[in-house]
Structure 1
Amino acid sequence: MTVLEETALAATPRREEGPTPYARSPKVPDPSRTPTPSYRTLGLATEAVPAMVSMHRTACAFVFARWGLESVADNALLVVSELVTNTVVHGDGNVVSLGMTYAANKLHIVVGDGTPARPVLQKPGPDDERGRGLILVKELADTWGTSDDGTCTYATITVPKNGHR
C-alpha cells in the first residue's frame, strides 16, 4: 500500500499541568491551538487484486473514525468497497487508486485505475449474483459518476452537520 497524501490526521499532544515546552519557545507553534482544517484528504494506491479491497475498507474505516464521520461511515465504506471492487474486477489497470476529500460537509470519494473503461449500471434479475454494486452506490451517494476520460469513478456523500467532530 502506498499512502499518497494524507492531511489533518496529526495526533493531538497530551496536555500536562503547568507551562508546556511550546509556551517557552516562540518559534515552535503550539499544536493544541492549531485551528481545525477546513478540509481533509487521503490518497491510497495499491495493486489491483481482490485482496486489496478489504485493505482499502479497513484503511477507510480508520480514517472515517479519525475524521469523526461515524454517522456516514457504514454507507461510505460500502461505497468504497463497491467502487474498489468494480475497479479490481472490471478495470484493466495494475494499480487501484483511492482518493477522498472531506470539506464543507461533503465526503468525496474517487476510485480509478487509469484506464478509460467506464462502469456500467446493470439491471440484474432477481436470481443474478452480480451487478448490484453501482446500484448500491447510486442509492447511498448523493451524486456519482465518472471522470470525463473514464479513468475514475466518484461518489459524494453529504455528512449531517451534527454528524462529525
Structure 2
Amino acid sequence: MAEAGIAQYRQRLAVRPSVLGRVRTIVKAHMHLWGFAPLAETVALCVHELLVNVPRHTGSPKCELTLDRGPGRLRVTVSDTSQTLPVKREPDWINETGRGLVLLDEMTNAWGAEPNPDGGKSVWFEVRATPRGEAA
C-alpha cells in the first residue's frame, strides 16, 4: 500500500540539448501537480544543472531522472554511468564552469552523491516545503 502523500516520476534519458527544455517543462508540471508550484522554477533549474553535467563528466548522455515527492519534501535524483563522484569546487567565473554544485548548495536544502551498488552514481538534492492543500 502506498504511503499518503508519496508520488514518483521516473524517466530514462539520453541528455541532449533538444531534450533539456522538455524535461524542464515536465519537472515544472509535476511541481504544480504535486502542490509545489512556488518551487517549480528552482527545481527545474537545479535539474537542468544536474543533467547538463551528465554527458560533460561521464562521457555518456544516458541517465535516469527520478522525482520523489514525500510529505513536506521533494527529492530529485539523477543517476548516471560514471562512478566518479562530483566535487564542489570554486567556480571558474571566466569560463562559466563549475557552478552547478554551488547552485545546488545555495538553492536546495540538501544535496549529495553516492555510488550505486550496480555501478554508476546518483546525485540528488532535496527541497522542503508544505505542498499547497496540506496542513503545516
SS in 2 for 1:116: coil
Structure 2 alignment gaps of length 5 or more:
none
AA matched with 1:119:
P
Equivalenced residues, count: 129
Give the TM-score normalised by the residue count of structure 2. Answer: 0.83
What does the per-residue CA deviation read over 1:100-119, in whole Å, with 9 as the maximum and x for residues that have no partner?
Answer: 11111110000021321222
SS in 1 for 2:12: strand
What does the per-residue CA deviation read over 1:55-91, in whole Å, with 9 as the maximum and x for residues that have no partner?
Answer: 2111111111111211211211111111111113222
1:125 CA drift (Å) = 4.0
Structure 1 alignment gaps of length 5 or more:
1-35
Largest Rg, 1 or 2: 1
% identity of equivalent residues: 23
Looking at structure 2, the residues matched to 94 and 139 of structure 1 have their Cα atoms a distance apart, in angstroms, of 26
Looking at structure 1, the residues matched to 65 and 46 of structure 2 have their Cα atoms a distance apart, in angstroms, of 12
Question: Which residue does the alignment assign to 1:64?
Answer: 31
Looking at structure 2, the residues matched to 54 and 112 of structure 1 have their Cα atoms a distance apart, in angstroms, of 19
Give the TM-score normalised by the residue count of structure 1. Answer: 0.70
Question: Which residue does the alignment assign to 1:104?
Answer: 71
Question: Which residue does the alignment assign to 2:10?
Answer: 43
Alignment of 1:1-150 (within 5 A): 37-149=4-116
- Report the aligned-residue RMSD: 2.1
